[in-house]
Chains A and B, each alone.
Chain A
Amino acid sequence: MNPVLKLLIDGGSLTTSQMAKVAGLTEAEVNQQLEQLKKEKIFLGWRPVLDLSHEAAAAGAVRGVIEVRITPERGGGFNRLADRISRFDEVESCYLMSGGYDLLVFVKGGSLQKVASFVSEKLSTIEGVLSTSTHFMLRCYKEQGFLLDGGEAQSARLDIAP
């Protein structure tokens, strides 16, 4: 596997210069490989992981998850509608699911009302959307692999041990 991709997957939060040292490449080579991965649309971009329980990080945003049932179309299945829904700025992530509904849509809005009106005015009125079920997130315990509260205790390893 491409060593830079490997480090993106499980290298924690290394900077490109640290990745270079770990992989035994120059920083320019790492950047070159990142560009190549971008071209291949494997690596899409960097995003910070924030603890949204801090007001400063949440910036007043409200987050919701919407279960959406849609009508599959001949020739394209769910793709056209899923793509159309994904294009809204309010939508952060959109997944096709197995089970009781078709799409799981993660949305973000400036207020509860804004998310609600996105659902009622934009999402549910799209032709082919059969139903929506909206859940608002109350509290986050783990965000993209990071435990928010009560993570591991600070390491108390001895400095020198046999």
Chain B
Amino acid sequence: MSTDPKKWVAGHVAALPKSGIRDFFELVAKLKGQGVISLGVGEPDFVTPWHIREAAIFALERGKTYYTSNLGLIELRRAISTYVEEHFAVSYRPDDQIIVTVGVSEALDLACRAFINPGDKVMFHQPCYVSYHPSVALAHGNAIAVPTFAKDNFALTAEALRAAWQPGAKMLMLNLPCNPTGGTCDRAQLEAIAKFCIEKDLLVLTDEIYSELTFDGSHTSIASLPGMANRTVFLHGFSKAFAMTGWRIGYACGPAPLIDAMMKVHQYSMLCASIIAQEAALEALKHGWDSVLKMREQYHRRRDLVVRRFNEIGLTCHSPRGSFYAFPNVATTGLSEKDFAVGLLEKEKVAVVPGLAFGENGRGHVRACFATSYEQLIEACDRMERFVQSGQR
């Protein structure tokens, strides 16, 4: 009998490919200490505003070290309800329509496990955040990628959705603004998507974690469109807008039966999110908006800087309407996205992430995160220019 421990790994987990980001991470790690400027991160460069950190310290001082309700602190759910109503124009009851989770990642996992039966078809737009496809696969669903294109500023279109749709599709996952493209949809585009979802009776899972970082126009949530609240689970969190990635705090809002189903999975796995992080999140919602606006203004200027420089260098780059990612096309250099990223890293010590890590439709692009200081961005762009212009590539 074989004694290889691998035999105990579940088949669907063994079949799951490792994230393409992981390989690149190892490559960058080898160059540690050699002055690498990383545009490969996926989080703000700002530290959580002090008043939020201070609220967490105060919570510890008062002995807040216990479990909370499975759904999360009721004060926090009330604050979330008010915040979502004010910013997204959709109402959720704090008592049974909101659940606080360990980051949006957990909310995504809960939703997949709570809603997907084995073999269910789930649509998602691509390029997209690395965990969408695996989350569906881990819940034994079948993921259907819907391409988005640079010519549309990577907005999802109802036409692409219709073209990719397959009979029996149950759910659509959205991430607008999108990691890695920064693409998002305006109200008219969302209305067309909503109409399609109603026509095909699709449940919508909408991850709007980057919504506060929308630079051009205002953000619209698909949950706020007529007829959508009852078929939409809205996911959001504190990581990006409030610079709270390490706190791992997110939430899901939706129809009570769906939140109840997610709560069942949550109570038997995570139990509850950290009370310290929940207290910090409450402070963020109460008093953190000024900090959000300041950070957004900084990201906006940085976006304008990198997009202008990339286009000057000859890397065609649409202007991302939201998030802190630019997704330039590197095909003009004659290199694949991977060769470009590896060459740039080795020759000029700038790290970007090859677009293929975000799915097949990321081919020909790289993701460059502009959540870093002006000084670093200016230097990184200068190095990229040198790399593109050099004959050595």
From A155, which residue of chain B is reached at the shortest CB distance? Answer: B45
The CA of A160 and the CA of B179, in the complex, are separated in Å by 14
B21–A24 touching, CB < 8 Å? no
Q: How many residues of B contact A (CB 8 A)?
A: 35
Number of A-B contacts (CB under 8 A): 63
| Contact string against A for B residues 62-97, beta-carbon threshold 8 Å, 1 for contact and 0 otherwise | 000000000000000000000000000000000000
Interface string of B121-160 (1 = CB under 8 A from A): 0000000011100000000000000000000000000000
Asked if A112 is at the interface of the complex by the 8 Å CB criterion, the answer is no
The contact string, 1 if C-beta is below 8 Å from chain B, for chain A 133-162, is: 000000000000000000010010111111
Contact status A162-B375, CB under 8 Å: no
A10 contact set on B, CB distance < 8 A? 294, 297-298
Q: How distant is the Cα of A14 from the Cα of B32 in the complex, in angstroms?
A: 26
Question: Please, which residues of chain A bring their CB within 8 A of the CB of B298?
Answer: 10
Contact with B along A7-22 (1 / 0, CB 8 A): 0001110100010011
Q: In the complex, A12→B372 CA distance in Å?
A: 13
Cβ B351 vs Cβ A160 within 8 A: yes
Complex Cα distance, B373 from A14, in Å, reads 10
Assess the B129–A162 pair: CB atoms within 8 A.
Answer: yes
A7 to chain B, nearest CB (A): 8
Size category of the binding interface on chain A: 10 to 19
Given A14-B374, A22-B301, A24-B304, the answer on whether A159 and B21 have CB atoms closer than 8 Å is no
Q: Is the CB of A22 within 8 A of B42?
A: no
Residues of A within 8 A of B36 (CB): 159
Choose among B19, B36, B305 the residue with the greatest number of A CB atoms under 10 Å from its CB: B305
Whether B41 and A161, one on each chain, are in contact in the complex, defined by CB atoms closer than 8 angstroms, is: yes
A161 in contact with B42 given A21-B305, A24-B305, A24-B308 (CB within 8 Å):
yes
Q: List A contacts of B297 (CB < 8 A).
A: 10
Shortest Cβ distance from residue A90 to the other chain B in the assembled complex, whole angstroms: 34
CA distance in complex: A10, B295 (Å):
11
Instruction: Say whether B374 contacts A18, CB under 8 Å.
Output: yes
Within the complex, the shortest CB–CB distance from B345 to chain A, in Å, comes to: 10
B41 touches A157 (CB 8 A): yes
Q: Which residues in chain B, 333-357, are within 8 Å of chain A measured between CB atoms?
A: 351, 353
Main secondary structure of the interface of A (DSSP, over half): loop
Known: A14-B374, A24-B308. A162 touches B131 (CB 8 A): yes
**A159 B351 Cβ-Cβ under 8 A:** yes
Name the CB-closest residue of B to A19.
B374
Query: Contact at B41–A158, with CB atoms within 8 Å?
Result: yes
Given contacts A12-B373, A24-B305, A155-B45, contact A160 B378 (CB under 8 A): no
Taking a contact as CB atoms closer than 8 A, the residue among B21, B47, B305 that contacts A160 in the complex is B21
- The answer to whether B374 and A159 touch across the interface, beta carbons within 8 angstroms, is no
Q: Which residues of B contact A160 (CB under 8 A)?
A: 21, 24-25, 28, 38, 40-41, 351, 353
Q: How far is the CB of A93 from chain B (nearest CB, A)?
A: 25
Q: Does B1 contact A (CB under 8 A)?
A: no
Chain B residue at minimal CB-CB distance from A161? B42
Complex CA gap A12/B130 in Å reads: 34
- At the interface, yes or no: B9 with Cβ under 8 Å from chain A? no
Does B29 sit at the interface, judged by CB under 8 A? yes
What chain B residues lie within 8 Å of A161 (beta carbons)?
A: 21, 40-43
Within 8 Å by CB of A159, from B41, B47, B129, B294, lies B41
Q: In the complex, what distance in Å separates the CA atom of A12 from the CA atom of B40?
A: 23
Nearest chain-B residue to A158 (Cβ)?
B41
Interface residues of A in 60-119 (CB under 8 A from B): none
The residue from A22, A24, A162 contacting B374, defined by CB atoms under 8 A apart: A22
* Known interface pairs A24-B308, A160-B38, A161-B40; A18-B378 also in contact (CB < 8 Å): yes
The listed residue (B29, B305, B374) touching A12 by CB distance below 8 A is B374
CB distance from B309 to the nearest CB of A (A): 8
Residues of chain B within 8 A of A157, CB atoms compared: 38, 41, 43, 45
Can you list 12 A-B contacts with CB-CB less than 8 angstroms, sorted by A residue number? A10-B297, A18-B375, A22-B301, A22-B378, A24-B304, A24-B308, A158-B25, A158-B41, A159-B41, A160-B21, A162-B19, A162-B42
In the A-B complex, the 6 residue pairs with the smallest Cβ-Cβ separation, listed nearest first, are: A160-B40, A161-B42, A160-B25, A159-B38, A159-B28, A162-B130
